[in-house]
């Protein structure tokens, strides 16, 4: 579904047009900090049930747009839908996060993985079509997927991990097996994001949440190369699709990521000095970020100073104001409102 022509400040910025007031959206902007989300979750059930129900996914995607008037709406879904399409079972343990089975502990388990049913991700595309049909015309519609390294870490361990040790051990101990898994994730992700675009999204973000755990050599192989392959595949199939890359924790390796993957824009996490990013990243490249989610929780002068620093650092390039990572569940609504006012200059 293609939406009617309209000026969308976020989409224009991601294409390289600098705005006098940077457009805004927040990672995880649809979620637990919103009372309307909590009410719907209590009614509908768990996270996955809502993410795979087009009506619920549509409603949750729209909630922060109605409340705050953000410039971008991001699809309510999860990065672990791709493992479902590849044949793993996915569920969420209350208070503990996602679980995937069977864990892919070695090359034999990777090779034994059987793709899921062809219609596994159809509810996601149905949600995209529904959302695209009702979004305000000035709002950019964002889709997303997890990047191959991050998705692989969950598939190998069967759950989240702060160190990603199981995936890193496999990458060093059996690089060929890891490459086979990464290649399968790349191919599925290209199809997944192309289908999102064909159903109505206008830009996509590649989340590499665990990119910061890798050495420079491993980062080159398991972050830069797979993301470059996804970008190339999407360019061939969807040349007008805008792509944001977000390699959290990349630090100084962010420059190589920005120059070698082919993404249109790069997300910057809260650990990166915005002044350094403004100097080091390619001239004219749109940048997204990078307010610390905890500064948003702190509010007051702390929030105001952090916002002003980011705005000043990125004043001379296309900039999308966002967090350095996802909004936290205990974030006060009033602080989000203060953030919007500060960025848009009404306070």
For domain 9-344, the CATH architecture is Alpha-Beta Barrel (3.20)
218, 323, 194, 137: CA torsion to nearest 10: -170
Residue 105 neighbours by CB under 8 Å, 6+ apart: 156, 166, 170
User: Which DSSP string do the residues of 26-82 spell out, in sequence order?
Assistant: -TT-SSTTSHHHHHHHHHH-SHHHHHT-HHHHHHHHHHHHHHH--SEEE-S--TTHH
DSSP secondary structure code for residue 163 in this structure? S
pTM of this structure: 0.96
pLDDT tens sequence for the chain (347 residues) = 566 667 999 999 999 999 999 999 999 999 999 999 999 999 988 899 999 999 999 999 999 999 999 999 999 999 999 999 999 999 988 777 899 999 999 999 999 999 999 999 999 999 999 999 999 999 999 999 999 999 999 999 999 988 999 999 999 999 999 999 999 999 999 999 999 999 999 999 999 999 999 999 999 999 999 999 999 999 999 999 999 999 999 999 999 999 999 999 999 999 999 999 999 999 999 999 999 999 999 999 999 999 999 999 999 999 999 999 999 999 999 999 999 999 999 65
Q: Is 114 helix (H, G, I), strand (E, B) or coil?
A: coil
The catalytic residues are: 28, 32, 41, 78, 154
- d(C-alpha 148, C-alpha 185), whole Å: 6
């Amino acid at each position: 579904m293609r939406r009617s022509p309209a000026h969308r400040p976020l989409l224009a910025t991601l294409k390289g047009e600098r705005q006098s007031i940077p457009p805004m959206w927040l990672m995880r902007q649809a979620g637990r900090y919103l009372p309307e989300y909590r009410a719907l979750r209590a009614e509908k059930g768990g996270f996955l049930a809502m993410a795979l129900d087009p009506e619920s996914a549509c409603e949750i995607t729209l909630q922060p747009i109605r409340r705050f008037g953000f410039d971008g709406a991001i699809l309510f879904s999860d990065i672990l839908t791709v493992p479902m399409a590849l044949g793993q079972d996915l569920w969420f343990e209350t208070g503990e996060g996602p679980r995937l089975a069977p864990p892919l502990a070695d090359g034999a388990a990777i090779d034994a993985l059987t793709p899921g049913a062809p219609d596994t991700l159809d509810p996601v595309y149905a949600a995209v079509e529904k959302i695209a049909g009702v979004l305000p015309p000035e709002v950019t519609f964002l889709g997303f997927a997890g990047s191959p390294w991050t998705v692989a870490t969950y598939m190998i361990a069967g759950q989240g991990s702060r160190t990603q040790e199981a995936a890193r051990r496999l990458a060093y101990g059996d690089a060929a097996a890891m490459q086979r898994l990464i290649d399968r994730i790349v191919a599925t992700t290209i199809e997944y994001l192309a289908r999102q675009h064909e159903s109505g999204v206008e830009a996509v973000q590649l989340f590499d949440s665990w990119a910061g755990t890798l050495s420079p050599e491993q980062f080159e192989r398991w972050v830069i190369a797979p993301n470059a392959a996804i970008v190339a595949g999407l360019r061939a199939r969807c040349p007008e699709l805008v792509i944001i890359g977000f390699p959290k924790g990349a630090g100084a390796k962010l420059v190589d990521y920005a120059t070698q993957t082919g993404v249109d824009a790069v997300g910057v996490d809260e650990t990166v000095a915005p002044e350094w990013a403004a100097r080091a990243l390619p001239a004219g490249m749109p940048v997204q970020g990078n307010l610390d989610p905890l500064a948003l929780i702190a509010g007051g002068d702390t929030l105001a100073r952090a916002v002003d620093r980011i705005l000043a650092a990125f004043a001379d390039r296309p900039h999308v104001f966002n967090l350095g990572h996802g909004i936290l569940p205990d974030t006060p609504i009033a602080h989000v409102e203060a953030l919007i006012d500060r960025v848009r200059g009404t306070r």
